[in-house]
Chain A
Amino acid sequence: MEKEQEDQVRTAAKKWAKQRGSLVMALHEVQGALGFVPWDAARIIAEEMDVPLARIYEVVSFYSYFKLEKPGDVVISICDGTACHIKGSPGLIAAFEKDLSIACGTSTEDGMFHLQAVRCIGCCGLAPAVVVNGKTYGKVKPPECATIVKEWKAKMKDKMKDKVS
């Protein structure tokens, strides 16, 4: 972890340490900033909040929302709530798996894409729905999955260009 990130984690942990019932909230804040909960961050939280490291591991590993490993840059979440399931989310999962050549729940080798099935996102009127880095696609049909991947590949390419220039 870089110094800047370490400070971020420490500030969050210190803030929440003053309030009760706040371990999960501190973890949320850390994951919100870093994208996941790295081991070093857990250590800082343990120290600042006076919680055993084992407790933090217990909590992080229990809740599906928290990630212990860095996710891909582009996270494709296919909603697999009941409404989406009935309207064809399994077909979307298969289409993305085929297009990206990875299994659901894993990332591409270059770390660009992460594919995951999630429980209801609350947009049942848009079923089946897919969320990519916060952008929602509704009433998706399997052939459209490849288009979505293409769209984000192009976006990431542009982003890289911006970074270089």
Chain B
Amino acid sequence: MADGKNDKLKELAQKQMAALDKLCEDHKNRHYLIRLYTCDAIGCHSGGSSDVIRSLTEVINSHGAMEKIRMVPTGCMGLCGKGPLVRIEADGVKPAMYKLVGDMLARIIAAEHVIPLLKWIEGGRKGEFTTSQFLKDNELCLDLPFFTRQHKIVLRDMGHADPENLGEYLANEGYDALKKALFKMKPKDVVEEIKRSGLRGRGGGGFPTGLKWEFAAKAPLVEGEKFIICNADEGDPGAYMDSCIMGGGPHQVIEGMMLAAYAIGATTGWIYIRAEYPLAIQRLETALRQCKKHGILGRNIFGSGWDFMIEVRYGAGAFVCGEETALMASIEGKRGSPHMRPPYPTQKGMWGRPSCINNVETLAAIPIIMRQGADWYNKIGDEKSRGTKVFALTGHAKHGGLVEVPMGMTLREVVEEIGGGTDTGNPVKAVQTGGPSGGVIPASQFDAPITYESLNEMGSMMGSGGLIIMDSTDSMVNIAKFYLDFTVDESCGKCSPCRIGGYQMLKTLEKISKGKGEIADLQKLKDLAFAMKKASLCGLGQTAPNPVVSTLKHFEDEYTTLIKK
């Protein structure tokens, strides 16, 4: 009886594997003369990329050329400030990218670039292929430092792959790392590999991922269970890296999570994702459906005998739920109030089970590290901060968007070269990193490298990856007030240093910006900040004063000017 069941499972796994191989081969064997990519990540999507895709399709269809051209809605191409973006590629032809594409421009691109290019290729590539001056004026130069100075690892496939196409992910070596781990590696080998890679938590804390996994792996199951949790509750206002990674590479995150689960011996995975990201949720759920259908998730995965499932739970607009213990409380169906650590979640987490929580970007890096090896990864970046970091470069950036740079690159390179300085033409005054938990860094310190340690030393932090450029007209008191207003609103109210301290700091700031402040208020702000940092229960309260402390440190004159008025 049991043997019969085993045979059936074996047979099912073989069938599923064959189907997956076919999906992969089919994708590899389909050849197109032109590849037409339209960015369909959140920014471009909101800017109307669906209309762009429809218009492109209509025109190409009217020429009966759909078979020869691959239309791909992709993940984030990066330069969100100039979206919707369309990119045209063909073998042996320099790629072209169009900016700010609307319905009309899309039709012109299709009729006067894509179709003529197709005819030129089919006609034997005679002479040089050129487009009209009008189209050239709407092109983006792909030699911009914005494109050339980046180092894409986590974002490697974004902008080139259809997030809803499992075949394409497989053709790009997707799930190869998982297969390798399941069949050729012991769980502890996976932990070792990640330890050796030097990867640290990309949610902001910077805790070594391999070490966290080691703790989780050592924890015994509780009532037969252990969890891996993906933190996709990206609450930092002005940051959208995780939304784009989840929406642009859901399979990459799922594979990373499965590798983590295998390494630590987790029985179930949970993805806690912000409800405000419907597009990312939709793409994630599509990917999960594909995985279940093809046996990538479920029982006896790839015939290895290993079972694993992933559950999705939505956040509901509480910034504090990015904190590990609050996140778990939220999934448990409670208010998102944090609690004291230890015990750490890796020992006693959700419903008392050991739970390992990793951020989206961290998990998305895992499959690539496992594929290319720890020795490859740990050569990129800085000595203590290895690899790359994805930033959402926004605010007054001339070239704003999603960028991935090696750790150790200086802020100046990111702000002035990749970001191209300000869009206003005014000089850059400062950047803000780390969101409401971080601080401002004045332009005079831009030669510092981007590492966890150096950002901390400057009174800011890595955070999840918001990098906001502020120009000479932006008020530092205003920005401090903006962030404090946010954290006061988002404080869960459980501990008094955060609840009362934050409110008092905000009132003092409001008083100062109304011109009613006194010099003594500055000391009061510093004292309150000290108390909050020392005595708050969780990271929210401990870091909430950072925007005020850092602006006071670097731009105290802006406070005193307001007071003296």
- B313, A124: Cβ atoms closer than 8 Å: no
Q: Nearest chain-A residue to B435 (Cβ)?
A: A82
A7-15, A56-64, A145-153: which one contacts chain B?
A56-64
- B351, A20: Cβ atoms closer than 8 Å: yes
The size of the chain A interface, using a CB distance under 8 A, is: 40
Q: Does A94 contact B (CB under 8 A)?
A: no
- B276, A122: Cβ atoms closer than 8 Å: yes
Q: Does A143 contact B (CB under 8 A)?
A: no
- A64, B317: Cβ atoms closer than 8 Å: yes
Residues of A within 8 A of B316 (CB): 24, 27-28, 63-66
Residues of B within 8 A of A24 (CB): 313-316, 330-331, 333
Q: Which of B44, B79, B333, B468 contacts A82 (CB 8 A)?
A: B468
- CB contacts under 8 Å to B, within A112-165, are 118-127, 129, 131, 136, 138
What's the nearest-Cβ distance from chain B to residue A17, in Å? 11
Q: Does A51 contact B (CB under 8 A)?
A: yes
Q: Nearest chain-B residue to A118 (Cβ)?
A: B276
Q: Does A23 contact B (CB under 8 A)?
A: yes
- CB contacts under 8 Å to A, within B363-390, are none
- A86, B237: Cβ atoms closer than 8 Å: no
B87-95, B133-141, B393-401: which one contacts chain A?
B393-401
Q: Which of A121, A124, A138 contacts B392 (CB 8 A)?
A: A124
Q: Nearest chain-A residue to B436 (Cβ)?
A: A82
The size of the chain B interface, using a CB distance under 8 A, is: 57
Q: Does B191 contact A (CB under 8 A)?
A: no
Q: Which residue among A82, A86, A87, A136 has the maximum number of chain B CB atoms within 10 Å of its CB?
A: A82
Q: Nearest chain-B residue to A64 (Cβ)?
A: B317
What's the nearest-Cβ distance from chain B to residue A88, in Å? 11
What's the nearest-Cβ distance from chain B to residue A136, in Å? 4
Q: Which residue among B82, B238, B275 has the maximum number of chain A CB atoms within 10 Å of its CB?
A: B238
- A124, B238: Cβ atoms closer than 8 Å: yes
Q: Nearest chain-B residue to A119 (Cβ)?
A: B237
A49-92 interface bits toward B, Cβ cutoff 8 Å, 1 = contact, 0 = none: 00100010011001111100000000000001111111100000
What's the nearest-Cβ distance from chain B to residue A79, in Å? 8
Q: What are 12 A-B interface contacts by the 8 Å CB criterion?
A: A23-B333, A27-B316, A28-B316, A63-B318, A63-B336, A82-B479, A82-B482, A84-B238, A86-B474, A87-B395, A122-B43, A125-B83
Q: Could you list which residues of chain B lie within 8 angstroms of chain A, going by C-beta atoms?
A: 42-44, 46-47, 79-83, 234-240, 243-244, 270, 275-277, 311, 313-319, 330-336, 350-351, 392, 394-396, 400-401, 432, 435, 466, 468, 470, 474, 479, 482-483, 486, 492
